Amino acid sequence: MPIRVLHLALLALAAPTSAMTQMLPDSGKYFVRHGRDTVATEHFVRSATRLEGTLAIHNKKRTSQRWTAVVGPDGTLPLVDVTVWEGVDGPGKMRVIQRARVIFKEDSAAVDVFAGDGLQTRLFATERGAVPYLNLSFALMEQAVRRARGAPEQAEVAFFNLGGGQTVVAKLSPLGTDSLLLDIGKVRYHLRVDSLGRVLGGRIPSQDVVVDRR
């Protein structure tokens, strides 16, 4: 059962780096714009062992995805919980559409999904150390970027798509001292980063998408 997400492709990246980078607490908010319209916002909070956020989609159903991830000592995210809501925030005004939990172990991912038709469990093959990808979540992407600071000149990294269970491969390469290029298929992502690997913004020129952190 795929987690319900928008189908605008935005991928993340990952590779090993020092554990100290993962231990630094942080918080922030991302604004995702398509042309002149803000299509999503995401607020997140990071600690040494936990990463959580709320991704609000600016659609008619007021969809929001509240997620919580366990951060491992090596910067991986071995467990992710996602709850999908619809409606305006407030007592009795929101309803849960779907809940999902993903547990990564070795080269597999166990996915438990609870929706209107009950609980379903599926086991997916993936790559060891694959990064969970939630569409439009730049906070999850930033966790991967932090791990990428020690990557070679060009690296191939695996992502587990929470929206369908597929594992995809992207290519990462540096662009100067404060930017990275991420290529997935024919789509290229330009990401601005700082010395700690925090994603300060980015764009997808071919899709007229711009992301800012505030």
Q: Where are the beta strands (DSSP E) in the chain?
A: 26-34, 37-46, 50-57, 64-70, 79-87, 94-105, 108-115, 118-125, 131-133, 155-161, 167-174, 179-184, 187-193, 199-204, 209-213
Q: Who wins on pLDDT, 126 or 17?
A: 126
pLDDT over 50 at 129, yes or no: yes
pTM of the model: 0.83
Q: What is the pLDDT of residues 70-98, one digit of tens each?
A: 999 888 899 999 999 998 766 667 889 99
Count of CB atoms within 10 A of residue 166's CB? 13
The answer to whether 75 touches 157, Cβ cutoff 8 Å, is no
Q: How is the chain split into domains, by residue range? A: 19-213
| Sole residue written with tokens 């987690």 | 3
Q: What is the pLDDT of residues 153-175, one digit of tens each?
A: 557 778 899 988 999 887 888 88
